[in-house]
Amino acid sequence: MRRARALLCAALLACLAGSALPARAQPLQELDVGLTAKTATDWPLYVADTLGFFKRYGVSPNFVIVGSAAGNAQQLAAGSLPIGETSSTQIVEAIQGGAPIFYAVNQVITPPYTLVGKKEIKTAAGLRGKMIIIGGVNDITHVFLDALLKPTGLKPDDYTLTYAGGTNERYAALKSGSVDAAILFPPINFLALSEGYSNLGNVQSVLPSFPFDGFAVNTKWAQTHSALLVAFLKGYLQGLRWLYNPANKAQAVQILAQATNTNPDNGSKSYDEFFVQLKAFSQDGRSSSADFQKVLTALATMKVIEPPLPAPTKFYDNRYIDQANAELARGR
């Protein structure tokens, strides 16, 4: 009788064990995420992907390099991408043009760009009559360049602009000698400076607080995939919080170097001089009316948009990032 009962218990336990699959055995949901280029802008994503934070919440992201903020906005509007990295100026232009998208994450809030010039050009004032490469005619890097050159007295007619959407492409143009200066993002800016190119000014010295980069989503997709969007955002926030822990610096630098194919020394400088010291990443990912009012004012100054200016709340929706923050706070 005892032996029969023991066999019955063993059989029941085996059945229970077979029916209770661990969470990690559940199928992952694939998610295409459009990036402008492989730079430190998306450091929290690289961390979350490398350390399994996305998988923890059932997400398997596929990072697609689109090449420009405008390209991401176009693919989002067309429904070709559900989530894509874009600039704050681009999201305003896209939505004003009727694109069914919105900002779901306010990512980088302190612009860590550097204007890098040829080795013989020592100051920004020396760019008179020179060729400068930025992201685009109405790109946010145009806002940054104007802010950097204003103190020098240079006017738009004093130099020539050319365009390339990504930092890597602008760095390549500088290396080739086809341009005299390029506006570059970490860690590529540090790579160029280590090669002897000149630092002609850091954007945060003239614009210490300006939201310039985040993740936009297609509105219809968000409405039908809210759980997947929140899961992605939770993985992102976990990566961000891990990144901001100074104890993780060495591993974070290695993750960035591998993701961007750059020297760890440049990643270390990016960590110390920009992203941690300046708290360049928004710690909760939320947007605000004050954030977007700065963007709208800058675009109006450039005559990209005309008064009366739209309401800042037209361009972002915090409900998904708020839910992600709340679920993480509850340990979910």
Q: What is the pLDDT of residue 198?
A: 98
Q: Tell me: do 34 and 126 sit in the same domain.
A: no
- pLDDT, residue 273, reads 86
Single out the residue of 123, 139, 132, 51 nearest to residue 91, CA to CA. Answer: 139
Those residues with Cβ within 8 angstroms of residue 328's Cβ, 6 or more apart along the chain or in another chain: 234, 237, 238
158, 189, 205 - which closes a domain: 205
**pLDDT tens per residue, range 290-301:** 999 999 999 999
138 and 267, same domain (yes or no): no
Residue 287 half-sphere exposure toward CB, CA atoms < 13 A = 30
pLDDT of 27 reads 78
pLDDT of residue 22: 35
**According to the model, what pLDDT value does residue 332 have?**
84
* CA dihedral over 221, 223, 225, 231, signed as positive or negative: positive
| Tally of structural domains, the chain | 2
What is the reported pLDDT for 236?
Answer: 98
Q: Give pLDDT tens digits for 57-112.
A: 999 999 999 988 899 999 999 999 999 999 999 999 999 999 999 999 999 999 88
37 and 118, same domain (yes or no): no
Q: Among candidates 59, 66, 161, 180, which has minimal Cα distance to 117?
A: 180
* Residue numbers of the domain that contains 93: 29-110+210-329
Q: Are residues 216 and 323 in the same domain?
A: yes
Q: What is the pLDDT of residue 250?
A: 96
Predicted local confidence at residue 11, as pLDDT? 42
pLDDT for the residue numbered 30? 97
Cα dist from 306 to 47, 99, 101, 180, 300, whole Å: 40, 18, 21, 32, 6
Residues 79 and 104 in one domain: yes
pLDDT at residue 274, rounded to an integer: 84
Residues 34 and 51 placed together within one structural domain of the fold: yes
pLDDT, residue 15, reads 38
Residues in the chain with pLDDT values less than 50:
1-25
pLDDT of residue 276: 79
CB 183 within 8 A of CB 134: yes
Looking up residue 191, the CATH number of its domain turns out to be: 3.40.190.10
